[in-house]
Amino acid sequence: MTTTPITPLPRYLALAYLALVIYASLHPFSGWRDLGLSPLAFLDAGWPRYWTSFDLAVNVLAYVPLGYLLALALSRHAGRPLPALLGALVAILISFSVEAVQTWLPTRVASNLDFACNATGAVLGAIAAWQSGTRALEWLGRTERRLVAPLPHADAGLVLLGLWLLTQLSPETLLFGAGDLRQLLGFSSAIAYAAPSFFALEVAITACNTVAIGLIARTLLSGRRSAVAVLLAFVLFALFVRALGAAVLLGPREAMAWLTPGAGLGLMIGAILLAGLLFLPNNWRIAFAGLTLMAGAVLVNLAPANPYSAAALATWRQGHFLNFNGLTRVVAALWPFLTLPYLMLLGRRL
């Protein structure tokens, strides 16, 4: 039997994905009440009255990655059946616990059908990890050795970049903008800006975050020529994700609505600044990344609400889309404040 040692990356990914699943399942975490029902009542509640094929597919597909990642994370070597079984059982237990907790949430309905679909997805993911995990990990290991710099906690940095990509699926934020805590804290923008002032804010937010993301990604990448090419591909992919999110949420005609004059100029300025900062030593790159990251977060909290936000929420007022919208918002709000401690830790280890 092949015994390919796994990298730490599946463990980081499993923890991150687990947190996302729990948040999406219990969003918006408000209005808790006790109806006198047992948290296990959903098990024998019969067939749900309202369901769609889309809901069933989402509940299955959402747990396939969880079962897959847990199966890999619980094993030192891929291709063994016991870790796959444990990964499936852990994912099923998580789904069971989430459904039980939903009994006390007014916006959620605990469902035996959802639980059955989640369990099916978890088992499918664990089986995939058992059957093909060795090949996937070999490819992942080769790719990491070729592209990722041998830095401490580089895998955690890759997960943070993946979470940042997730935030680009929401058209509510300004381009690359992150760190808006006002909605989480119950505040609102009390400052009214004239059009030129808002334009300047949008340019600065986009430029700061372009520099921060570029410097973080460059620090994690090995080599120079290949790193620049991979970095360019990463930024272009982020813009594609942004356009895809807008197209799905607002409609195909609005796929490029986020590319305003301010966002375009901010991208250009950020790219020019980034081109010069890429050649700095690692410690300087990390310092500038943290500085521009926090500057962008401060400016985001000063900017007025995105005019596309109301249209986005009006379109997303249904089922799993609403939950996903809440998930992307909270990840976008917290991302800079999760990334800054990572940069400080990385800077101390270099």
Q: Are residues 122 and 180 in the same domain?
A: no
Average pLDDT, the chain: 81
C-alpha–C-alpha distance, residues 40 and 110, integer Å:
9
Check pLDDT > 90 for residue 257: no
Question: Given 147, 166, 188, which residue is the final one in a domain?
Answer: 147
Q: What is the pTM of this model?
A: 0.74
- Of 120, 147, 174, the domain-final residue: 147
15 and 123 both lie in a single domain: yes
Q: Is residue 264 part of a domain?
A: yes
Q: Does some domain include residue 124?
A: yes
Structure tokens at 94: 């998580």
Give the separation between CA 328 and CA 349, rounded to whole angstroms: 31
Question: What's the pLDDT at 94?
Answer: 93
Which of 114 and 312 is assigned the larger pLDDT? 114
pLDDT at position 161, please?
A: 92
Rounded CA-CA distance 96/110 in Å is 10
Same domain, 92 and 179: no
2 occurs within a structural domain: no
Q: Are 64 and 128 in contact (CB under 8 A)?
A: yes
The domain boundary, picked from 126, 147, 168, lies at 147
Does pLDDT of 193 surpass 50?
A: yes
- pLDDT confidence bin for 335, thresholds 50/70/90: very high
Residue 286 lies in a domain: yes
Q: Please name the helix (run of DSSP H) or strand (run of DSSP E) that holds residue 338, with its range, or none.
A: helix 319-349
Check residues 141 and 162 and name the one with the higher pLDDT: 162
Q: Are residues 67 and 112 both part of a single domain? A: yes
Expressed in percent and rounded to 5, the helix, strand and coil fractions of the chain are 70, 0, 25
- Same-domain pairing of 230 and 290: yes
**43 and 165 in one domain?**
no
Report pLDDT digits (tens) over 77-106: 555 788 888 989 999 999 999 888 888 887
| Whether residue 4 has pLDDT greater than 60 | no
What integer is the mean pLDDT of 237-262?
82
Query: Could you tell me if 222 and 80 lie in one domain?
Result: no
Q: 190 and 273 in one domain?
A: yes
Does 85 reside within a domain?
yes
The answer on pLDDT for 321 being more than 70 is no
Tokens 């197209």 -> residue: 247
Examine the pLDDT at 146 and tell me if it is beyond 70. yes
| Domain match, 66 and 84 both | yes
Claim to verify: residue 164 and residue 311 sit in the same structural domain:
yes
Owning domain of residue 273: 154-349
Q: Average the pLDDT over each of 118-122, 129-133, 212-216 and give the range with the smallest value.
A: 129-133
Residue 216 lies in a domain: yes
Residue 342: name the closest of 110, 159, 195 by CA: 159
Nearest partner of 110 among 97, 128, 120, 123, judged by Cα: 97
Helix (H) or strand (E) holding 129: helix 112-147
Q: Is residue 229 situated within a structural domain? A: yes
- What separation in angstroms does the CA of 281 have from each of 157, 179, 219, 222, 271? 18, 27, 9, 13, 18
Average pLDDT over residues 328-350: 86
**pLDDT(129) > 90:** no
Give all strands (DSSP E) within the chain, no chain letters.
none
**Closest alpha carbon to 235 in 272, 264, 271, 284:** 271
Number of domains in the chain: 2
* Together in a domain, 18 and 167: no
> Is the pLDDT score of 1 beyond 50?
no
Radius of gyration, CA atoms only, the chain: 22
198, 303: one domain: yes
pLDDT at 205: 94
Instruction: Tell whether 142 is covered by a domain.
Output: yes
